Amino acid sequence: MQDENQTQEIIESLKDDLEKSVLYLKNEYQVIRAGRANPHILDKVLIDYYGVKTPLKQMANMSVQEARLLVVSVYDISQIRAVTKAITEADLGVNISDDGRVVRLAFPVLTEERRREIAKSIKVILENTKVAMRNSRRDSLDLFKQLKKDALISEDDMSFYEKEVQKIVDEYIAKLDALYILKEKEIMEV
């Protein structure tokens, strides 16, 4: 009975790791600019707010006013200059302007060459995430091999769990591939 609990724990741990990998990919893809205004592009921007590095999303409201225009309304207007400076330093490839009340980010139209570069970079992120998933698979299989070595599971059980682990990993890799296809389509869309 205990070996059944251990095998379930290994499977659940694997699923948790794979779910984290999918979430990582989603988060990475959200901050990649695709020629349209997207508030998530600012998720990693930190402002020096009275000596404390503070995420911009905690200091401002962001809204998409037009397809290529993002407006950042800073709660503390005295921080507009600091916000503008931090966005400029983040080098996001957007045109920044402020009128003393709000910061406007104009997203330029991407060139075909730039679209291809972004498509290559999202492919690299995808491949790195798949490597992390394969590492999780290997770790799970190592745990099952240890159970077999300790005679807690049989050879047939080991074969079953190897197939089960592979099936689970394949399902999650299909999720990654679907996310990649959607992002690539979004980037290559003119």
Domains of the chain, first to last = 2-31+111-188 (1.10.132.20), 39-106 (3.30.1360.40)
HEC-encoded secondary structure of 129-177:
HHHHHHHHHHHHHHHHHHHHHCCCCCHHHHHHHHHHHHHHHHHHHHHHH
pLDDT tens digits, 101-117:
899 988 888 788 888 88
pLDDT tens digits, 11-62:
999 999 999 999 999 988 887 766 677 788 888 888 988 888 989 889 899 9
Mean pLDDT of the chain: 89
Q: How far apart are CA 72 and CA 85, in angstroms?
A: 13
